Amino acid sequence: MRNLLLILVMFGLTACGASKEAAPVMPMPVPYYEKHSEVQLLKRKPEKPDQTHDIVRQLFKASMAFAVPEQANIADNIRAELLIDPLKTGEELEAQLSDKGRKFHDTVMVSHIIRATLVAPDFKVTSVTPEEQALSYSDSTQWKWILEPTAPGSYTVDLTITALVNVGDKSSLHTLKTYNKTLNVEITPKQEASQWLEKYWQWLFSTLLLPLAIWVYKSRKK
């Protein structure tokens, strides 16, 4: 009987040891900040579709003509004009330009919305028309600027044409510079003397010319 109890006790201890060894160890849950750390998020590369083909499809050729004087006086307000038309030739557009001075025409890639800017750091530039316009198919699209020179000298005028295209969703627009040309404009001081005389002729007459005329008259009389 004693031996039987001893055998039962040993069997129970063995079973308990086996159950402990067989018990599965549950893994600790990984915290959220470790699973979504900044390093792991930065390693993720966003998948962007190739949008080059979509952008190219929105561009097409058009003729352009531009006019700006090659030389002007410091007292003049210089007028610059740009015309863009997808249906006319460059020669036809150049003949349409109303402003006098140097004219030229070229071909440019455009979209349905165009932005034209004229940058001239040595002038006071005023845009007569909106810089960003929708391209017209019934008439030539026109841009106009007025440039006021501030000092005599040789300066540059920079013309830039930018196409606005849709990228991704239709609400976002991407700017694509398609044309750029730099032109020189010479500002002369020829009218400065005449302007000074026009402004101060009364002072000049009363202070210099009239006393000189009186002196000459008296000298001859003697």
Give domain status of residue 115, yes or no.
yes
In a domain, 64, yes or no: yes
CA–CA separation, 118 and 145 (whole Å)? 8
Q: Is residue 156 part of a domain?
A: yes
The parent domain of residue 82 ranges over 52-193
Domain contains 66: yes
User: Which tens digits make up the pLDDT trace of 40-69?
Assistant: 433 434 334 456 677 788 899 999 999 999
* Whether the Cβ atoms of residue 147 and residue 125 lie closer than 8 Å to each other: yes
Extract the tokens encoding 15: 């079973």
pTM, two decimal places: 0.63
Q: Please check whether residue 218 lies inside any domain of the structure.
A: no
| Cβ 55 vs Cβ 112: under 8 Å | no
Closest alpha carbon to 62 in 179, 199, 196? 179
Please, are residues 116 and 82 in contact by the beta-carbon 8 Å criterion?
yes
Please report whether residue 126 resides in a domain. yes
Helix (H) or strand (E) holding 27: none
Domain membership flag for residue 94:
yes
Q: What CATH number does the domain containing 183 carry?
A: 2.60.40.10
Is the Cβ–Cβ distance between 78 and 72 less than 8 Å?
Answer: yes
Residue 12 identity: G
What value does the mean pLDDT take over residues 10-37? 48
More confident residue, 207 or 6: 207
Q: Provide the number of structural domains found in the chain.
A: 1
pLDDT digits over 168-222, tens only?
766 678 889 999 999 999 999 865 566 666 666 576 667 776 677 777 766 776 6
